[in-house]
Amino acid sequence: MSDMKGKVGLITGASSGIGRATAELFAANGAKVVVAARRQDELDSLVAAIEARGGEATAIQTDVSVAAEVERMVDHAIKAFGRLDYAVNNAGIEGRFAPITELAEDEWDQVLGINLKGTFLCMQHEARAMLAAGNGGAVVNVGSINSFLGAATGSAYCTSKHGLIGLTTSVSAELAPQGIRVNLVCPGVIDTPMHRRLREDLGDEVYDQGLLPNVHLRRAGQPEEIARAIVFLCSDEASYITGTTLTPDGGYTLTI
Protein backbone atom coordinates (compact mmCIF):
# COMPACT_ATOMS: atom_id res chain seq x y z
CA MET A 1 0.00 0.00 0.00
CA SER A 2 1.13 3.55 -0.69
CA ASP A 3 2.81 5.58 2.02
CA MET A 4 0.06 7.94 3.18
CA LYS A 5 2.17 10.06 5.48
CA GLY A 6 1.17 13.70 5.30
CA LYS A 7 -2.24 12.83 3.90
CA VAL A 8 -5.58 13.31 5.63
CA GLY A 9 -8.56 10.97 5.51
CA LEU A 10 -12.13 11.62 6.64
CA ILE A 11 -14.33 8.63 7.50
CA THR A 12 -18.04 8.85 8.34
CA GLY A 13 -19.83 6.11 10.23
CA ALA A 14 -16.51 5.53 11.95
CA SER A 15 -17.78 4.49 15.36
CA SER A 16 -17.93 0.77 14.55
CA GLY A 17 -17.66 -1.92 11.90
CA ILE A 18 -16.26 -1.04 8.49
CA GLY A 19 -15.82 2.65 9.31
CA ARG A 20 -13.75 1.98 12.41
CA ALA A 21 -11.59 -0.61 10.64
CA THR A 22 -11.01 1.82 7.76
CA ALA A 23 -9.94 4.63 10.08
CA GLU A 24 -7.50 2.32 11.83
CA LEU A 25 -6.02 1.15 8.52
CA PHE A 26 -5.59 4.70 7.21
CA ALA A 27 -3.75 5.55 10.41
CA ALA A 28 -1.60 2.42 10.14
CA ASN A 29 -0.55 3.59 6.69
CA GLY A 30 0.51 6.96 8.06
CA ALA A 31 -2.52 9.14 7.28
CA LYS A 32 -4.03 11.54 9.76
CA VAL A 33 -7.67 10.69 10.24
CA VAL A 34 -10.84 12.57 11.00
CA VAL A 35 -13.55 10.26 12.30
CA ALA A 36 -17.23 11.19 12.32
CA ALA A 37 -20.39 9.48 13.56
CA ARG A 38 -23.33 10.16 15.83
CA ARG A 39 -21.92 8.29 18.86
CA GLN A 40 -19.30 10.44 20.56
CA ASP A 41 -18.16 7.84 23.11
CA GLU A 42 -17.23 5.34 20.41
CA LEU A 43 -15.42 8.05 18.43
CA ASP A 44 -13.40 9.04 21.49
CA SER A 45 -12.46 5.40 22.02
CA LEU A 46 -11.31 5.13 18.41
CA VAL A 47 -9.19 8.27 18.61
CA ALA A 48 -7.57 6.99 21.79
CA ALA A 49 -6.79 3.65 20.15
CA ILE A 50 -5.22 5.31 17.11
CA GLU A 51 -3.15 7.68 19.23
CA ALA A 52 -1.99 4.80 21.42
CA ARG A 53 -0.44 3.28 18.29
CA GLY A 54 1.32 6.52 17.42
CA GLY A 55 -1.21 7.84 14.93
CA GLU A 56 -2.99 11.19 14.68
CA ALA A 57 -6.76 11.46 14.81
CA THR A 58 -9.57 13.78 15.70
CA ALA A 59 -13.29 13.14 16.14
CA ILE A 60 -16.41 15.14 15.43
CA GLN A 61 -19.95 14.10 16.21
CA THR A 62 -21.97 14.37 13.00
CA ASP A 63 -25.40 13.53 11.62
CA VAL A 64 -24.71 13.31 7.88
CA SER A 65 -28.37 13.97 7.01
CA VAL A 66 -28.01 17.56 8.30
CA ALA A 67 -26.22 19.88 5.88
CA ALA A 68 -24.91 22.25 8.55
CA GLU A 69 -23.35 19.37 10.48
CA VAL A 70 -21.67 18.01 7.36
CA GLU A 71 -20.24 21.43 6.56
CA ARG A 72 -18.97 21.70 10.13
CA MET A 73 -17.41 18.22 9.83
CA VAL A 74 -15.40 19.11 6.73
CA ASP A 75 -14.40 22.49 8.21
CA HIS A 76 -13.19 20.63 11.30
CA ALA A 77 -10.98 18.39 9.14
CA ILE A 78 -9.39 21.38 7.42
CA LYS A 79 -8.87 23.28 10.66
CA ALA A 80 -7.40 20.23 12.40
CA PHE A 81 -5.00 19.04 9.70
CA GLY A 82 -4.95 21.69 6.97
CA ARG A 83 -6.11 19.56 4.06
CA LEU A 84 -8.37 16.73 2.90
CA ASP A 85 -7.04 14.00 0.62
CA TYR A 86 -9.34 11.01 1.18
CA ALA A 87 -13.01 10.83 2.07
CA VAL A 88 -14.89 7.63 2.90
CA ASN A 89 -18.65 8.07 3.05
CA ASN A 90 -19.62 5.05 5.07
CA ALA A 91 -22.39 6.30 7.39
CA GLY A 92 -25.57 4.32 6.93
CA ILE A 93 -28.49 2.62 8.62
CA GLU A 94 -30.67 -0.31 7.64
CA GLY A 95 -33.87 1.15 9.03
CA ARG A 96 -36.91 -1.05 9.55
CA PHE A 97 -37.59 -3.73 6.98
CA ALA A 98 -41.35 -3.75 6.44
CA PRO A 99 -43.86 -4.40 3.64
CA ILE A 100 -44.37 -1.39 1.36
CA THR A 101 -47.96 -1.23 2.57
CA GLU A 102 -46.79 -0.74 6.16
CA LEU A 103 -43.60 1.33 5.86
CA ALA A 104 -44.16 4.77 7.35
CA GLU A 105 -43.14 7.88 5.44
CA ASP A 106 -40.82 9.03 8.20
CA GLU A 107 -39.11 5.61 8.22
CA TRP A 108 -38.48 5.93 4.49
CA ASP A 109 -37.22 9.49 4.90
CA GLN A 110 -34.81 8.54 7.68
CA VAL A 111 -33.11 5.80 5.64
CA LEU A 112 -32.90 7.85 2.46
CA GLY A 113 -31.83 10.90 4.44
CA ILE A 114 -28.79 9.21 5.94
CA ASN A 115 -27.80 6.69 3.29
CA LEU A 116 -28.36 8.69 0.10
CA LYS A 117 -28.89 12.35 0.93
CA GLY A 118 -26.17 12.08 3.57
CA THR A 119 -23.68 10.77 1.03
CA PHE A 120 -24.65 13.57 -1.37
CA LEU A 121 -24.10 16.21 1.32
CA CYS A 122 -20.75 14.70 2.30
CA MET A 123 -19.55 14.56 -1.30
CA GLN A 124 -20.68 18.13 -1.89
CA HIS A 125 -18.66 19.56 0.97
CA GLU A 126 -15.71 17.20 0.52
CA ALA A 127 -15.49 18.12 -3.15
CA ARG A 128 -15.57 21.82 -2.35
CA ALA A 129 -12.64 21.40 0.04
CA MET A 130 -10.64 19.28 -2.42
CA LEU A 131 -11.32 21.61 -5.33
CA ALA A 132 -10.34 24.66 -3.28
CA ALA A 133 -7.02 23.03 -2.39
CA GLY A 134 -6.34 21.96 -5.97
CA ASN A 135 -4.46 18.81 -4.95
CA GLY A 136 -6.89 16.24 -6.31
CA GLY A 137 -8.15 13.55 -3.96
CA ALA A 138 -10.06 10.31 -3.66
CA VAL A 139 -13.58 9.62 -2.47
CA VAL A 140 -15.00 6.18 -1.69
CA ASN A 141 -18.70 5.70 -1.06
CA VAL A 142 -19.86 2.57 0.73
CA GLY A 143 -22.83 0.80 -0.77
CA SER A 144 -23.91 -2.80 -0.41
CA ILE A 145 -24.74 -5.86 -2.44
CA ASN A 146 -28.20 -4.30 -2.15
CA SER A 147 -26.90 -1.64 -4.51
CA PHE A 148 -27.67 -4.30 -7.14
CA LEU A 149 -30.13 -6.63 -5.44
CA GLY A 150 -33.59 -6.04 -4.07
CA ALA A 151 -34.83 -7.57 -0.85
CA ALA A 152 -38.41 -8.27 0.15
CA THR A 153 -39.56 -5.67 2.70
CA GLY A 154 -36.28 -3.75 2.21
CA SER A 155 -37.50 -1.08 -0.21
CA ALA A 156 -36.04 1.92 1.63
CA TYR A 157 -32.64 0.39 2.29
CA CYS A 158 -32.26 -1.07 -1.20
CA THR A 159 -33.38 2.14 -2.88
CA SER A 160 -30.87 4.15 -0.88
CA LYS A 161 -28.04 1.79 -1.85
CA HIS A 162 -29.10 1.56 -5.51
CA GLY A 163 -28.98 5.35 -5.63
CA LEU A 164 -25.32 5.39 -4.68
CA ILE A 165 -24.40 3.89 -8.05
CA GLY A 166 -25.87 6.82 -9.96
CA LEU A 167 -24.48 9.32 -7.49
CA THR A 168 -20.98 7.85 -7.58
CA THR A 169 -20.70 7.47 -11.37
CA SER A 170 -22.13 10.94 -12.02
CA VAL A 171 -19.84 12.75 -9.58
CA SER A 172 -16.88 10.69 -10.77
CA ALA A 173 -17.38 12.00 -14.31
CA GLU A 174 -17.75 15.53 -12.99
CA LEU A 175 -14.64 15.59 -10.78
CA ALA A 176 -12.22 13.47 -12.80
CA PRO A 177 -10.84 16.45 -14.81
CA GLN A 178 -9.80 18.03 -11.50
CA GLY A 179 -7.94 14.89 -10.43
CA ILE A 180 -10.51 13.71 -7.88
CA ARG A 181 -11.36 10.02 -8.16
CA VAL A 182 -14.71 8.70 -6.92
CA ASN A 183 -15.49 5.01 -6.46
CA LEU A 184 -18.04 2.77 -4.78
CA VAL A 185 -17.41 -0.27 -2.58
CA CYS A 186 -20.33 -2.69 -2.18
CA PRO A 187 -19.67 -5.18 0.64
CA GLY A 188 -21.56 -8.41 1.07
CA VAL A 189 -22.26 -10.25 4.31
CA ILE A 190 -19.81 -8.66 6.75
CA ASP A 191 -19.52 -9.30 10.49
CA THR A 192 -20.62 -5.86 11.66
CA PRO A 193 -23.17 -4.73 14.26
CA MET A 194 -25.70 -4.21 11.45
CA HIS A 195 -25.32 -7.78 10.22
CA ARG A 196 -25.42 -9.14 13.74
CA ARG A 197 -28.83 -7.51 14.05
CA LEU A 198 -29.80 -9.20 10.79
CA ARG A 199 -28.72 -12.52 12.20
CA GLU A 200 -30.86 -11.96 15.27
CA ASP A 201 -33.84 -11.11 13.06
CA LEU A 202 -33.38 -14.14 10.81
CA GLY A 203 -32.35 -16.60 13.50
CA ASP A 204 -29.15 -18.62 13.49
CA GLU A 205 -30.54 -21.47 11.42
CA VAL A 206 -31.83 -19.28 8.59
CA TYR A 207 -28.66 -17.16 8.65
CA ASP A 208 -26.27 -20.13 8.65
CA GLN A 209 -28.21 -22.40 6.28
CA GLY A 210 -30.12 -19.92 4.14
CA LEU A 211 -27.80 -16.94 3.76
CA LEU A 212 -24.19 -18.05 4.18
CA PRO A 213 -24.42 -20.93 1.64
CA ASN A 214 -24.94 -18.24 -1.02
CA VAL A 215 -21.51 -16.84 -0.18
CA HIS A 216 -18.93 -18.78 -2.23
CA LEU A 217 -16.39 -18.49 0.58
CA ARG A 218 -19.00 -19.86 3.04
CA ARG A 219 -18.32 -17.25 5.70
CA ALA A 220 -19.05 -13.68 6.62
CA GLY A 221 -16.35 -11.18 5.75
CA GLN A 222 -14.51 -9.13 8.36
CA PRO A 223 -14.56 -5.31 8.49
CA GLU A 224 -10.79 -5.27 8.01
CA GLU A 225 -11.20 -7.01 4.65
CA ILE A 226 -13.48 -4.24 3.41
CA ALA A 227 -11.19 -1.59 4.87
CA ARG A 228 -8.34 -2.91 2.73
CA ALA A 229 -10.46 -2.50 -0.40
CA ILE A 230 -11.42 1.05 0.57
CA VAL A 231 -7.88 2.15 1.42
CA PHE A 232 -6.61 0.59 -1.82
CA LEU A 233 -9.06 2.67 -3.86
CA CYS A 234 -7.80 5.81 -2.12
CA SER A 235 -4.15 4.91 -2.62
CA ASP A 236 -1.81 5.72 -5.49
CA GLU A 237 -2.02 2.07 -6.55
CA ALA A 238 -5.56 2.86 -7.74
CA SER A 239 -4.55 6.02 -9.60
CA TYR A 240 -6.30 4.95 -12.83
CA ILE A 241 -9.50 3.73 -11.18
CA THR A 242 -12.51 6.02 -10.98
CA GLY A 243 -16.26 5.66 -11.42
CA THR A 244 -16.13 1.96 -10.71
CA THR A 245 -17.76 -0.41 -8.25
CA LEU A 246 -15.71 -2.90 -6.26
CA THR A 247 -17.76 -5.72 -4.73
CA PRO A 248 -15.98 -7.59 -1.92
CA ASP A 249 -18.77 -10.06 -1.22
CA GLY A 250 -17.14 -13.49 -1.12
CA GLY A 251 -18.89 -14.32 -4.39
CA TYR A 252 -22.42 -13.73 -3.10
CA THR A 253 -23.71 -11.78 -6.12
CA LEU A 254 -22.43 -14.53 -8.45
CA THR A 255 -24.85 -16.96 -6.82
CA ILE A 256 -28.04 -14.93 -6.65
Which among 5, 66, 58 has a CA at the least distance from the CA of 30? 5
In DSSP notation, 217-255 reads TSS-B-HHHHHHHHHHHHSGGGTT--S-EE--STTHHHH
Which among 81, 49, 46 has a CA at the least distance from the CA of 61? 46
Which among 117, 232, 116, 130 has a CA at the least distance from the CA of 185? 232
**Out of 157, 207, 240, 252, which one is annotated catalytic?**
157
Q: Give the CA diameter of the chain.
A: 53
Which among 107, 87, 108 has a CA at the least distance from the CA of 175? 87
Strand (E) or helix (H) holding 32: strand 32-37
- Is 157 noted as a catalytic residue in this protein? yes
What's the Rg (C-alpha) of the chain?
A: 17
| Whether 169 contacts 143, CB under 8 Å | no
Count the Cβ atoms, other than its own, within 10 Å of residue 54: 9
Q: Residue 127 burial by CB count (10 A; 0-12/13-18/19+): exposed, middle or buried?
A: buried
Residues carrying an active site annotation: 157
